Amino acid sequence: MSNRIPGFRHPEAQKNRRGYTRKAYEGGISTLCAGCGHDSISSAIITAFFEMAVEPHRVAKLSGIGCSSKTPAYFLGRSHGFNSVHGRMPSVATGANMANRDLVYLGVSGDGDTASIGMGQFTHVIRRNLDMIYVVMNNGCYGLTKGQDSATADKGSKSKKGAPASLESIDLCEMAIQLGAGFVARSFSGDKKQLLPILKAAIAHKGVAFVDVISPCVTFNNVPTSTKSYSWVRDHREATQSFDFIPLMQEITAEYPHGTAAPVALHDGSIINLYKREDKEVISSRREAIAALEETKEREQILTGILYLDPESQDTHQILGTTETPLNSLGEKELCPGNAVLQAFNDSLR
Ligand SMILES: Cc1ncc(C[n+]2csc(CCOP(=O)(O)OP(=O)(O)O)c2C)c(N)n1
Ligand code: SF4
């Protein structure tokens, strides 16, 4: 049986400003369990890239190993892709980005893939601020290997089988903020209304955009005793703020009430309009962003939304001062400028 979605589409299907229909952003038919949160995230990714009108051939999707890391097979079927080994997505993304800075890099990982075997890779790709969208589909367990607790399972949370988690959980958003990411967000696979603008803003952001999406595993970790179940997340969510995202080139038509919207311009000219809650967080302060996360946790709530944003953050290429021309487009003359240049460079370091 083919895993391709049937090719027929209505001839009048809506096109984005680059002339692509949504179909150009779809992939194969999912083989994940029916109801898995990861499928909802895939669907939001398709919509986000379609509505942002990113040309499919300008996207590279990279992943590790896990049910979550399988999802790039189910979206952006016309884009470049590399399904790497467990926990190694960030280094593959780094290599690709260093060679060709002109593509949009989308890394997809799981909480097992990132918070255990890939922890070293995660910390360094964030610290380097690689220009990529880093999505973790976070279900608190290793879905692909039958539901063992992962390092993001909250202490005391109990999955379908086994004992309550006995160790402190790792909060990847807190780590990403502390490590210097310029864009950190948390959302829920069951809330497309919130997830979609977060993904669009992540696409527009320059530097690493880390997006942790709580994504229930219906087969192994969707019981009421689990803090990553649909019911628990629905009952314990708080949003930092509501916001809308206005991509570059879209006419601004909405009227915003005075004093409530805080517009933040991103590198590419897109705008995030944040409607701040009166009593709440300053998302441009790392210290306050981490404090807001901790304070919400103490009340047994989950903070979602854009948790931290620095639109001025510098990506790896800016930090290293690399050439604007992608390395894979340079010729031998530029790449190998000769012994005299090498000697002069060595001398400059003595
Ligand atoms: C080097 C290595 N160690 C262990 C495994 C077994 N393994 C496969 S997927 C996985 C964890 C997946 O969990 P997660 O990243 O949370 O993804 P999910 O399946 O929950 O979406 C593990 C431990 C492996 N494939 N390779
Ligand atoms: S095992 Fe869990 S994570 Fe994997 S596809 Fe099924 S529901 Fe999703």
Confidence (pLDDT) at 229? 96
Residue 253 has pLDDT above 50, yes or no: no
Token couple for 177: 């903020």
Confidence of residue 167 (pLDDT cuts 50, 70, 90): very high
Residue 8 has pLDDT above 90, yes or no: no
Mutate to test the pocket of ligand 1, among 30, 38, 86 (most ligand atoms within 8 A of CB): 86
Distance CA 189, CA 212 (A): 10
Using a 6 Å CB cutoff, which residues line ligand 2? 32-33, 36, 38, 67, 139, 143-144, 217-220
Distance CA 189, CA 39 (A): 8
Least Cα distance to 108 among 126, 123, 87, 129 occurs for 87
Mean pLDDT confidence for 271-300: 79
Token couple for 161: 């089988």
Distances (CA, A) of 134 to 1, 50, 289: 32, 18, 19
Q: Give all strands of the β-sheet with 241-246 in edge-to-edge order.
A: 241-246, 271-276, 261-265
Confidence (pLDDT) at 251? 45
**Ligand 1 contacts CB of residue 147 (under 6 A):** no
Q: How far is the CA of 191 from the centre of ligand 2 (A)?
A: 18
User: Can you tell me which residue has the tokens 């607790």?
Assistant: 149
Q: What is the pTM of this model?
A: 0.92
Position in ligand 2 atom list of the atom nearest CA 219: 7
